[in-house]
Amino acid sequence: MGDVRGIASRGLARSFGAVHAVAGMDFDARAGQVTALVGPNGAGKTTLLLMLASLLAPDAGTIRIDGFDPAVDRDEVRRRVGWMPDTLGVWESLTAREILVQMGRFYRLSGAEAASRADELLELVHLGSFASQAARVLSRGQQQRLSLARALIHRPTTLLLDEPAAGLDPASRVELRGTLRRLAGDGCTVVVSSHVLSELDEIADAVVFVSGGRTVRSQLVDAPPGGRRYALEALDLAPARARLGELGVEFGEEDGRRPRLSFIVATDDDAARLLRELVTAGVAVTAFAPAGGVIEETYLGLGADER
Ligand SMILES: Nc1ncnc2c1ncn2[C@@H]1O[C@H](COP(=O)(O)OP(=O)(O)OP(=O)(O)O)[C@@H](O)[C@H]1O
């Protein structure tokens, strides 16, 4: 069923009383990719994720998870979706291992399967030595890692993570990025909501910006429309200015920690060609790289009414 894998949703709406939490969202995420969900507080991200996870019914709109409609095939959708909420919830008196085994049993794994899957996942999230600790004594970051393990217990095809990096220390963040990339590499549809845009840049293939309950933009991270901003540093910027001028490349000057020139480059090929031109022209280039993350730059470039 190749092309129906992934998430496709159209015209989603959900209100809570007078609050239109989601008021016309389209959201697509492809299998084998990490899709970032970005938006300010109250934009409707959690409400959207709950609807995709079939934990909240939309007032309007359609959802397909690997081609299945949660309103019709809820069990099929639940089998496919792993949900990592931003808090661990009400399980705190059980041990880490009991939580995973219990969750596995909910998903109808046999006792033996649930136990071996629990041990495998405790290792994956480096909680092996905390397996017999009550979840309530785990630190916030450890609880987040347990929550990820819980979401993965039934080998979902679709993973929805609400602020998964919140509370994680730097090493755990790096680890989480690796885990999510690996899952996407194995064909999983991975959706991550987060406010830490620089972090999303490292893992996301695509990004969907939402605001005020609506989708304001969806794009691939590798090929942003309009190109990427690059920054150049050199031992002497004067010959760089001259060569860029001859090549007709419009550039700006930036006074950061080190002075640098910045300009828009359409494709990776163009970036490589421009670097070669500059070096050949005798510019002593010391740095030549994208100036910032695509996601951050796009977000900051959105109109005030879109953020
Ligand atoms: N169960 C609920 N009852 C009433 N209002 C709700 C409920 N859930 C969400 N809302 C409201 O809907 C809006 C969207 O909330 P949501 O949690 O989806 O935003 P979010 O983008 O996840 O925000 P954050 O980044 O702060 O987590 C907010 O105004 C929120 O107050």
Would you state the pLDDT for residue 229? 85
Instruction: Indicate whether residue 50 lines ligand 1 (CB < 6 A).
Output: no
Token pair for residue 2?
Answer: 């190749």
Beta carbons within 8 Å of 49's beta carbon, 6+ residues apart: 37, 83, 160, 162, 191, 193
Instruction: Indicate whether residue 43 lines ligand 1 (CB < 6 A).
Output: yes
User: Ligand 1 centre from 214 Cα, in Å?
Assistant: 13
| Parallel/antiparallel/unpaired status of strands 259-265 and 252-255 | antiparallel
- Positions in the chain short of pLDDT 70: 1-3, 88, 90, 223
User: Ligand 1 centre from 42 Cα, in Å?
Assistant: 5
Would you state the pLDDT for residue 297? 76
Domains (ranges, CATH) in the chain? Answer: 2-220 (3.40.50.300), 228-301 (3.30.70.100)
Beta carbons within 8 Å of 265's beta carbon, 6+ residues apart: 227, 228, 229, 230, 271, 274
Would you state the pLDDT for residue 295? 82
Nearest CA to ligand 1 atom 29: 42
Would you state the pLDDT for residue 2? 46
Which string of DSSP letters, residue by residue, matches 60-82?
Answer: EEEEEETTB-TTT-HHHHHHHEE
Would you state the pLDDT for residue 90? 59
Would you state the pLDDT for residue 1? 46
Instruction: Indicate whether residue 19 lines ligand 1 (CB < 6 A).
Output: yes
Q: Which ligand 1 atom minimizes the distance to the CA of 47?
A: 18
Q: Which ligand 1 atom minimizes the distance to the CA of 40?
A: 25
Would you state the pLDDT for residue 132? 93
Cα dist from 136 to 14, 117, 160, whole Å: 33, 22, 23
Would you state the pLDDT for residue 301? 74
Positive or negative CA dihedral for 165, 167, 169, 175? negative
ipTM confidence score? 0.95
Q: What is the pTM of this model?
A: 0.84
